[in-house]
Amino acid sequence: APVPQLPTLMEIAGKEKICQGLVVGRTLFQQTVEQWFAKKIDDRMFVQILSDTFRETANLWYEKCHSESFIDHLMPRSWQIYS
């Protein structure tokens, strides 16, 4: 899903008891990799865009995990890798 859709998708996933997290690989990499392969961006810009998108996504997940609408089981397991 595109980054702008992530808040809504995280909200939906956070309400499901069977959800353990989200996979966002293509969201993070797809468009940027295509631009890089097409030589529309250089290595430095590639790394910058990826790091910005990853940071934005991780922060969004962190914020959603702390919201009241999320089921408690998501936060401890999902945020451990970033602590």
pTM of the model: 0.63
pLDDT at 41: 97
Residues 6+ apart with CB under 8 A from 9: 1, 22
Residue listed under structure tokens 């295509």 = 34
pLDDT tens for the chain, residues 1 to 83: 777 888 887 777 777 777 666 667 777 788 899 999 999 999 999 999 999 988 888 888 777 766 665 555 555 554 444 44
Nearest-5° Cα angle at 26, 65 to 18:
40
| b/e per residue 61-78 (b: at least 16 CB within 10 A) | beebbeeeebeeebbeeb
